[in-house]
Structure 1
């Protein structure tokens, strides 16, 4: 049974991350189980990577275990249940005092703080907060996007005319109120009362704002969109915190919510809606102008630089832009171009597989990670193959640039390709595709871009991804689970370890 399989996966992971007492918080995103750990040194990275269900591990502000879309949502509840069961089964007192849970947590907190300090710049922390606001919305965006695509297909085929209005309502309801959800998550992320953030953001989509004039023009329901909602909720959070400091406790329950909603609501109506509306319009205009006038070049740059942006954590800045474009135009024209980075990564991995015919370890990693790579989950290939090798990471970016240029070229000649939701990539993006010239042509252009990314990524890596010395050293007959270093064979130039974006030291390949 699937439940037994998911529970078995969770049971296999738990001891390898140090047991229940070492886990201080549990969460998950689209593909990763995210754990806060008291003591990072208790984790067995290699054993985790060897588990069949684990595609890779990433260390950032949390310890992230890549399980893939769908799987992570099923394994996480089982993992949480096992942690609770293990904690409840532990005796209330230990016969010997070795180290208390609080002491262990304190030590772990110090270790995490030291690691995070290396990589926690204010800008990156801000981007993480933005991502924390929008990432929880992705499942609804995907579900509604797919329903919208199905509905559009039925309308074009003139099938089930009695059902299509209902499907349109189902697909559009969430998008009509997305500002409320953004406001709720924003207040929660910035330390305010979530429902107050949602209440202030709801003003933006209230039909009655059409009777209000600001900056010499009538407001429109939805004006400012998700950016206005984000700004309104942040303002509400700061006003609420100010009120908590000055309002007497006996009056807090009445005065604080009233002042928070009133002041932030007035600023939203007579300032933020207009300003955020202008910014949102500018984003849509800029994206369309960029692809209409410099499509191939813009696609080349965006597709080629997306993997480095992901490595630096800067890709999170694009999430509000994608959401704004979807809200305005029904789809984001940027995501299909950025998805080409994954295609270049897949082509690169296949080339590595072909070139390193005798390295069973790397070939085993590629065989297990490629299916996820085709579906747009690139972390296993990035962290397990291309990035550690060095040169192949660059040639993977070349493949992404070529695929991006292909889609950008068609956008430049008027054939726009977009996605109705964010999150999926690779083949998983096909059900979410939309465009301005019909679904068939949109699918063909996106599929062509993937093919270009695969082919260019493959040939760029095959011919330029390895030096002669790398091929000699990496083509040794290495069994799965064993590496050249493990066998005591040093790299030719003994390069100095470099610190990656996640604070971990990596040994770059000789290039």
Structure 2
């Protein structure tokens, strides 16, 4: 069995170190760690030898909400707050050394194929193995250049999520104080705290873009900074004067990509003795001029079109759009196509202060929760699967859906489809109210489920936005539950699954 963390939990210094110490041997030891990073809820660990990872014990470790395999990387779901404290503790144990490449085929063969799982093995462990096999198969099938590009685009924005969340909550607090006419002297200060990052987000996007695509990060940031420089209003492109911030994150992304290409071209051709002078100069000059006289204008038109399209979508067809978006989001996540939405969310937040798409897409998680609850009720004699659902449900309510998806609904098959049905009805409800004028948006990306409540913003105030979003969650829960209870499990599946374990005396 995996060692348990001490009783003081992950909040204190001892607790953080104990969680990292417990994870270390299960990941193959310090020598097996190639990189350790974290996003808002997940610990992202790249290992040199995937076969050395003790996956079963890792999933069973207290505090681990789920484990998702992503090529040579493991995404260990620890939840918000905890992961930010555990990641640096685990990184301290890393040993320097080159990471070995691992092919998608190696990862796929490492996982237990779904066909190898015996028909009678319907415990939570068997479902987890099926889920891991499905994800590995999808990962290998989806390893196309286009999806790899989308994954790298997503990696540009993931490090920005904590700042987006913090600034979004501060902006909401400033708006609340202004609406209630409380502490009038403090509201402008809070607005400044919330708006400073957003006014310079293009610089951070440019920096991360160059870093992700192999350029010098500060050069990517320098070129992207042109977009937010106040003096661009003296430049005319295509017969129009430019405005500071025109093009936003899309322009910054394109400018930094161009800067990276120019820099790498120079590195191959400029003599080493002149490289330190020539390469940065040419990179900033060429990429900067193209940004001013082309990219800012084009990206500005694209960003404006995105904003207008989102507004028209909800105003004229919010119900249908919500049904489609809420119902298809989970399959999009499986295919990796959801990453294309991240720049769109960021563009809407920069333009309008919030993204109206995220609350609709969050309904997919509500459908998943409802489906898992129905499976819990139907499998009254399978204590193993019910225990998995109970342990993963708090994370699901907070919008962390992987443990329920890959541990329950996707391995079972039909419950995944009925979870999408629940998400579709929840999305349709939020879209319908948006069509009627009660729009609700999120001031940041990243959180979902209940964790999205502090980031909500609406056209009729925070109270209405919370009510609309909360009602949408309830519709998603209910629709996912009813669809799964009625159609998610066949009679044969129920007999097989309920034969997987004896009913406990407590009913679990």
TM-score scaled by length of structure 1: 0.88
Name the SS for the 1:82 alignment partner.
coil
- Alpha-carbon distance in 2 for matches of 1:177, 1:194: 15
Q: Is the 8 A contact 2:147 2:337 kept in 1?
A: yes
1:224 Cα deviation from its structure 2 partner: 0.3
1:272-311 alignment runs, 5 A limit = 272-311=295-334
The corresponding residue for 2:398 is 375
Q: Does 1:71 align with 2:82?
A: yes
Supply the distance in 1 between the matched residues of 2:367 and 2:86 (Cα, whole angstroms). Answer: 30
Q: Measure the CA separation in 2 of the matches of 1:106 and 1:167.
A: 47
- Partner of 1:35, secondary structure, is strand
Q: C-alpha displacement at 1:405, in angstroms?
A: 0.1
**1:335-363 superposed Cα distances (whole Å, 9 cap, x missing partner):** 00000000011111111111001101111
Following superposition, the deviation at residue 387 of structure 1 comes to 0.7
1:190 aligns with 2:201: no
2:153 counterpart of 1:142 = no
Alignment counterpart, residue 169 of structure 1, candidates 180, 192, 196:
192
Aligned residue in 1 for 2:116: none
Q: In the TM superposition, what whole-angstrom CA distance separates every residue of 1:105-148 from its partner, at most 9, and x where no partner exists?
A: 47889946998765420011001110010111000000000000
Residues 1:270 and 2:281 aligned together: no
Matches within 5 A, 1:189-208: 189-208=212-231
Q: Any unmatched runs of 5+ in structure 2? A: 1-7, 110-135, 504-508
Counterparts of 1:59-458 in structure 2 under 5 Å?
Answer: 59-61=69-71, 62-84=73-95, 105=100, 111=106, 118-458=141-481
1:120 and 1:247, CA in 2 relative to 1: closer, same or farther beyond 3 A?
same
Cα contact 1:183–1:233 (8 A) shared by 2: yes
Q: Distance in 2 between matches of 1:444 and 1:462?
A: 27
Residue 42 of structure 1, aligned match among 28, 41, 52? 52
User: In the alignment, is the contact (CA less than 8 A) between 2:35 and 2:91 conserved in 1?
Assistant: no
Distance 1:117 1:108 in 2: 9
Q: Cα distance, 1:203 vs. partner?
A: 0.5
Q: CA deviation at 1:399?
A: 0.5
Q: Distance in 2 between matches of 1:243 and 1:366?
A: 55
Structure 1: runs of 5 or more not aligned: 88-100, 481-511
Q: How far, CA to CA, are the matches of 2:348 and 2:379 in structure 1? A: 43
8 Å CA contact 1:351–1:461 kept in 2: the answer is yes
Question: Does structure 2 conserve the Cα–Cα contact (< 8 Å) formed by 1:183 and 1:230?
Answer: yes
8 Å contact kept, 2:66–2:76:
yes
**Equivalent residue of 2:159, what SS?**
helix
CA RMSD of superposed structures (Å): 1.8
Q: How far off its partner does 1:82 sit?
A: 3.2
Any conservation in 2 of the 1:361–1:479 contact (CA below 8 Å)?
Answer: no
Q: Which of 1, 4, 7 is the matching residue for 2:17?
A: 7
Number of aligned residues: 464
1:31 to 2:54 alignment: no
Per-residue CA distance 1:221-280 (angstroms, 9 max, x = gap): 000000000000011111111111111111111111111101111110011000000000
SS in 1 for 2:360: helix
Conserved? CA contact 1:430–1:443, under 8 Å? yes
User: How far apart are 1:477 and its partner, in Å?
Assistant: 5.1
Q: Distance in 2 between matches of 1:198 and 1:293?
A: 39
